[in-house]
Structure 1
Amino acid sequence: MVANMVKFLLCKYRARKLTSYAELLNTVLRGNQEHYPVVFCQAVECFLLVFGVDVKEVDPRRRIYIMVPSLNLTCDLMQRDGQGLPKVGLLVVVLSLMLQNRDHGPEEEIWGALNKMGLCVGKEHSIFGEPRELLTQVWVRDGYLEYQQVPDSNPTRYKFLWGPRAFAETSKEKFMEYLLRVNRRTIRSFALPSAEAVREEEEGP
């Protein structure tokens, strides 16, 4: 039921349409009202964590909802045909990696992190397409990222920086608030191991 609700919300988001409690209940849950609170909560969290899209209530009386990109990043809205899957979630990840590294991201570190997520250079991804093209061409052209050569590097190395459009659409303060919020949701929903446990596992005995 959660997966079906996520798919339904995704269709609404791509079509730029609102949805409602009544529609979700009748279309997705088919009248199983007792499951609605849990299913809706888990679907909203999944939608945020996977696609980087928030579900917000715009009419509490009629319980009408709208799907909006997190942090006001509009990269998905630039897809005029509405056919592409949301990519703002990946953009949030890349910008987050740079924030954690004093506002810049060495290319090798960015790709190392994305490889762990199953995004590999030259390999087509079902949601994000070919990641190198997306990061070094599409988002650079759109102004979300800057892709620069590291001065005096030999062999030649590159780094990513926040682009002017990212600064225009969001802020680092809002970003940090968002990351704290997502971290709380992730821990509650998926019981991730602590940072210390991950570090110990990586370092080994």
Structure 2
Amino acid sequence: MPRGHKSKLRAREKKRQAQNETKALEDAQATAADHPSQNLPAMGTEGPPLSYQGAAAAAFTDAHGAGEGNPSSPQASKSLSKDPLTKKVILLVRFLMEKYQMREPVTKADMVNSVVKAYRNHFPEILKRASALLELAFGVDLKEVDPIRHCYAFINKLDFSVDEGFLHADSMPQTGFLMMVLSVIFLKDNCASEEEVWEVLNMMGVYADKTHCIYGHPKKALTQDFVQLKYLEHRQVANSDPPRYEFLWGPRAHAEFTKMKALEFLATISDSTPSALSPWYEEALREEEERLQARMAARAQSRARAAEAPAPSES
């Protein structure tokens, strides 16, 4: 095959791969407007629809005052006045944030009587959307732990419990921010340049040079905090002049997060399923199988050691 034709084929393949990556990120940022049952606010788009950070930011700034460098807030305020159901979602997010910060339990009765009120017939939908915003913006799951009394508990997607000092100044975790970055790294063949990461974060209204009302100082979090906690590796690209930098998963991310969790996170944003994000789904499945085999091997080794151990002597 002529060399020129080979070059064209390689260029075409690179372009196709880039288009696939872009589509995956766009799907992850798509609004759920195409899926009325979910109807999650839009992410990374201009105009009235709220981004999930914008929705959470609206609740956050309502509770704590306007945040510096938060371009989403004006749009959030406009959108709230147009949709009473969305307003209830935002108010419920605010209520749940306060409960999380106070480490207080939550019940259905609390949510209905304090927030939902006249919209109690819409409670399942309001709770579903508010729970999704909590998960996406903060990496916090709201789980029903007592189906009889309808009691709920907050569960962090990653284990920040050993790093209490790493919480936001107002005690909301930065887990959702970290999970988005880890997901972007996975989509970029497990190694993403700083430019690629910030391109996605900018679409979310998160900028390196601006304090964010939810995530504080994003650049410091990425290049210092997450690195110190071993969730991220931040290294110089080999032979780059001027120096350029890239991100990889750190050892703690490999221990507490998985590629399948990354796809589940992205699928939640796009109201899709992990299997729809091919070929990353196949890679995630391979990792799940490898983890399962490693666990089985560890159990077998543990049993073998126990069987070989000498029996305790009788006195």
Q: Name the TM-score, length of structure 2 as normaliser.
A: 0.54
Structure with the higher strand share, 1 or 2? 1
Q: Which residue does 1:195 correspond to in 2?
A: none
Deviations 1:58-116 (A, max 9, x none): 1111111112123xx12377335772333111101100100001111111111122122
- Answer yes or no: is the 8 Å Cα contact 1:106–1:159 preserved in 2: yes
Separation in structure 1 between the aligned mates of residue 92 and residue 125 of structure 2, nearest angstrom: 12
Q: Which residue does 1:133 correspond to in 2?
A: 220
Q: Which residue does 2:173 correspond to in 1?
A: 86
Match of 1:110 among 170, 182, 197: 197
Q: 1:12 to 1:132 in 2, by over 3 A?
A: same
Separation in structure 1 between the aligned mates of residue 272 and residue 230 of structure 2, nearest angstrom: 30
Q: Name the TM-score, length of structure 1 as normaliser.
A: 0.80
More displaced 10-residue stretch of structure 1: 81-90 or 112-121: 81-90
Match of 2:132 among 41, 45, 54: 45
Q: Secondary structure at the match of 1:127?
A: coil
Deviation at 1:185, TM superposition (A): 6.3
Q: Which residue does 2:242 correspond to in 1?
A: 155
Q: Secondary structure at the match of 1:58?
A: strand
Unaligned runs of 5+ in 2: 1-87, 274-315
> What amino acid is the match of 2:260?
E
Q: State the identity %.
A: 39
- Answer yes or no: is the 8 Å Cα contact 2:193–2:245 preserved in 1: yes
Separation in structure 2 between the aligned mates of residue 8 and residue 185 of structure 1, nearest angstrom: 28
> What amino acid is the match of 1:64?
C
Match of 1:101 among 188, 202, 208: 188
Match of 1:175 among 262, 268, 271: 262
Q: 1:16 to 1:58 in 2, by over 3 A?
A: same
Q: Which residue does 1:16 correspond to in 2?
A: 103
Q: Which has the greater radius of gyration?
A: 2
Separation in structure 2 between the aligned mates of residue 88 and residue 153 of structure 1, nearest angstrom: 31
Q: Do residues 75 (structure 1) and 164 (structure 2) align?
A: no
Separation in structure 2 between the aligned mates of residue 28 and residue 77 of structure 1, nearest angstrom: 32
Separation in structure 2 between the aligned mates of residue 181 and residue 95 of structure 1, nearest angstrom: 15
Deviation at 1:31, TM superposition (A): 6.4
Q: Secondary structure at the match of 1:29?
A: helix
Q: Which runs of 4+ in 1 moved over 6 A?
A: none
Q: Which residue does 2:208 correspond to in 1?
A: 121
> What amino acid is the match of 1:2?
V
More displaced 10-residue stretch of structure 1: 50-59 or 75-84: 75-84
- Answer yes or no: is the 8 Å Cα contact 1:20–1:63 preserved in 2: yes
- Answer yes or no: is the 8 Å Cα contact 1:76–1:87 preserved in 2: no
Separation in structure 1 between the aligned mates of residue 221 and residue 176 of structure 2, nearest angstrom: 13
Structure with the higher helix share, 1 or 2? 2
Separation in structure 1 between the aligned mates of residue 206 and residue 261 of structure 2, nearest angstrom: 26
Separation in structure 2 between the aligned mates of residue 138 and residue 76 of structure 1, nearest angstrom: 15
Equivalent residues, number: 184
Structural RMSD (CA): 2.2
